[in-house]
């Protein structure tokens, strides 16, 4: 593997993000990535570019500029209407070799998780997955990529000093959404797919959108999450009843998901979703670090547990000691009365 000299490294400039458009809509994680990229670019004295593979409209272009992109690299081709990781990887490899960005950020979602490792392997560069913090080393300009390690028990700061670009994935809701500047504009660079991009790639015959992920924990303002204490799917039905009355979404610990009481898209934590809700109600979740990583930034945390010594009860703004099977039905009854 080639070790980059200082001159090699200096030939790489600017911070890139990959903006995600699904079903014609820009995912909010694209703005969060731009916010993170802007802070890094300010420290490196460079620009923020975002790559968009697929169809993008005028409104979306304006929005990406408003959230911080200085340049948009647009590859608008019908071949990109369904996600094809091999094709997107070939295109990005070519564009990265052409424009030489110093840093590339991806969302740690299906697309980013499939693309980034493939791309890192092709470019022979490092990749840090699921970063919770990004910064620049003031001494040498390296990207400092912080993420939980060893089951979430320590935070590790990783750097890819010897290779370029430096690549990282970031989960939704981990980075703060920047304030848009609607007066800001930028430049669009239009790129095309070339025949070499499509050599030996599999052909997508049909793309099917699964419906099972109807839960959108990322956009919920209130989450009622259940743990092992819920004892089974019936316990989660009770949480759904409460959620429907207060306009919340239902989340879960991994223990509940592993037991098959609720599907994986509801899981919160290191191997599930990261959420930043106004209110998080943890029902019988002990609060192991792997769960806390996914919800500790929620504004108000309410915990219900029979044991008041658990990490979740200690973390909570409001800790209610008691049995979830008494407290939740009582709450639902009270809410129905006030209605
Ligand atoms: C690599 C790795 C990744 C992981 N990723 C995740 C992840 O993404 N998300 C995640 O959640 N976990 C994750 N875990 C698992 C994590 O370590 C815990 O095992 C899990 O979070 C425990 O779930 P729990 O709190 O529901 O269960 P428990 O720890 O068993 O807690 C159940 C709680 O319910 C309380 N209780 C019991 N009965 C009642 C009742 N009737 N009323 C009120 N309270 C009651 C108990 O006092 C207890 O506090 C991961 C683990 C590893 C090793």
Atom 29 in ligand 1: which residue has the minimum CA distance? 286
Which pLDDT score is estimated for 284?
Answer: 98
The residue nearest atom 39 of ligand 1, judged by CA position, is 229
Burial of 44 (0-12, 13-18, 19+ CB in 10 A): middle
pLDDT at 187: 98
Pick the residue whose CA is nearest to atom 28 on ligand 1: 286
**From the alpha carbon of 226, which atom of ligand 1 is closest?**
26
Q: Which ligand 1 atom minimizes the distance to the CA of 227?
A: 26
Query: Where exactly does CATH 3.40.50.620 map onto the chain?
Result: 6-198
pTM: 0.73
If you measure from the C-alpha of residue 226 to the centroid of ligand 1, how many angstroms do you get, rounded to a whole number?
Answer: 9
Q: What angle do CA 140, 144, 149 make, to 5 degrees?
A: 145
CA geometry: angle at 67 spanning 136 and 83, to 5°?
90
Q: Is 230 in the pocket of ligand 1 (CB under 6 A)?
A: no
Residue located nearest, by CA, to atom 11 of ligand 1? 253
Whether ligand 1 lies within 6 angstroms of the CB of 288 is answered as yes
3-state secondary structure of 240: helix
243 neighbors 224 (Cβ within 8 angstroms): yes
Question: Are residues 143 and 101 in contact, defined by beta-carbon separation less than 8 angstroms?
Answer: no
For residue 229, the CA-to-ligand 1 centroid distance in Å is 9
Q: Is the CB of 250 under 6 A from ligand 1?
A: no
User: How many residues are listed for the chain in this entry?
Assistant: 339
- CATH 3.40.50.1220 residue ranges of the chain are 217-338
Task: Pick the atom of ligand 1 nearest to 304's CA.
Answer: 43
The superfamily (CATH) of domain 6-198 is: HUPs (3.40.50.620)
- Is ligand 1 within 6 A of the CB of residue 324? yes
The rounded distance, in Å, linking the Cα atoms of 300 and 316 is 8
Per-residue pLDDT of the chain (339 residues; tens, 9 = 90+): 678 888 999 999 999 999 988 778 888 899 999 999 999 999 999 999 999 999 999 999 999 999 999 999 999 998 898 888 999 999 999 999 999 999 999 999 878 988 999 999 999 999 999 998 999 999 999 999 999 887 667 889 999 999 999 999 998 888 989 999 999 999 999 999 999 999 878 777 777 665 544 567 877 899 999 999 999 999 999 999 999 999 999 999 999 999 999 998 899 998 888 898 999 999 999 999 999 989 998 999 999 999 999 999 999 999 999 999 999 999 999 999 987
Q: Which two tokens stand for residue 140?
A: 């040498």
Alpha carbon distance 322, 123 (integer Å): 54
Testing ligand 1's pocket by substitution, the residue of 148, 149, 270, 287 carrying the most ligand atoms inside 8 A of its CB is 270
Best of 271, 301, 323 to mutate for ligand 1, by most ligand atoms within 8 A of CB?
271
Predicted confidence at residue 215, as pLDDT, reads 67
pLDDT at 213: 47
Q: Is the CB of 227 under 6 A from ligand 1?
A: yes
**Which of 305, 315, 331 to probe ligand 1 with, by most ligand atoms within 8 A of CB?**
305
Asked if CATH classification 3.40.630.30 holds for the domain at 217-338, the reply, yes or no, is no
């Amino acid at each position: 593997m080639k070790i980059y000299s200082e001159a090699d490294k200096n030939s790489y400039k600017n911070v890139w993000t990959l903006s995600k458009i699904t079903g014609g809509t820009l995912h909010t994680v694209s703005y969060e990535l731009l916010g993170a990229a802007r802070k890094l670019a300010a420290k490196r004295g460079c620009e923020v570019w975002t790559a968009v593979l697929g169809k993008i409209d005028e409104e979306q272009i304006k929005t990406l500029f408003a959230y911080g992109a200085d340049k948009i690299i647009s590859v608008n081709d019908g071949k990109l209407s369904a996600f094809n990781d091999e094709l997107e990887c070939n295109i990005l490899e070519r564009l990265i070799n052409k424009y030489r960005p110093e840093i590339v950020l991806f969302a740690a979602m299906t697309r980013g998780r499939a693309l980034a490792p493939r791309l890192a392997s092709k470019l022979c560069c490092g990749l840090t997955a699921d970063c919770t913090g990004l910064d620049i080393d003031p001494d040498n300009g390296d990207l400092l990529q912080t993420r939980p390690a060893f089951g979430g028990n320590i935070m590790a700061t990783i750097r890819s000093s010897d290779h370029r670009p430096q690549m990282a994935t970031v989960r939704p809701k981990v980075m703060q959404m920047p304030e848009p500047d609607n007066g800001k504009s930028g430049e669009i660079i239009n790129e095309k797919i070339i025949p070499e991009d499509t050599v030996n790639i599999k052909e997508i015959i049909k793309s099917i959108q699964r419906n099972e992920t109807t839960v959108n924990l990322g956009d919920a303002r209130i989450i009622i999450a259940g743990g092992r204490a819920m004892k089974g799917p019936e316990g989660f039905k009770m949480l759904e009843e409460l959620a429907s009355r207060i306009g919340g979404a239902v989340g879960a610990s991994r223990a509940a998901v592993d037991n098959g009481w609720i599907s994986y898209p509801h899981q919160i934590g290191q191997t599930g979703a990261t959420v930043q809700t106004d209110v998080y109600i943890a029902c019988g979740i002990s609060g192991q670090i792997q769960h806390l990583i996914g919800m500790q930034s929620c504004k108000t945390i309410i915990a219900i547990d029979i044991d008041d010594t658990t990490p979740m009860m200690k973390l909570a703004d409001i800790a209610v000691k008691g049995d979830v099977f008494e407290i939740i039905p009582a709450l639902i009854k009270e809410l129905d009365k006030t209605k």
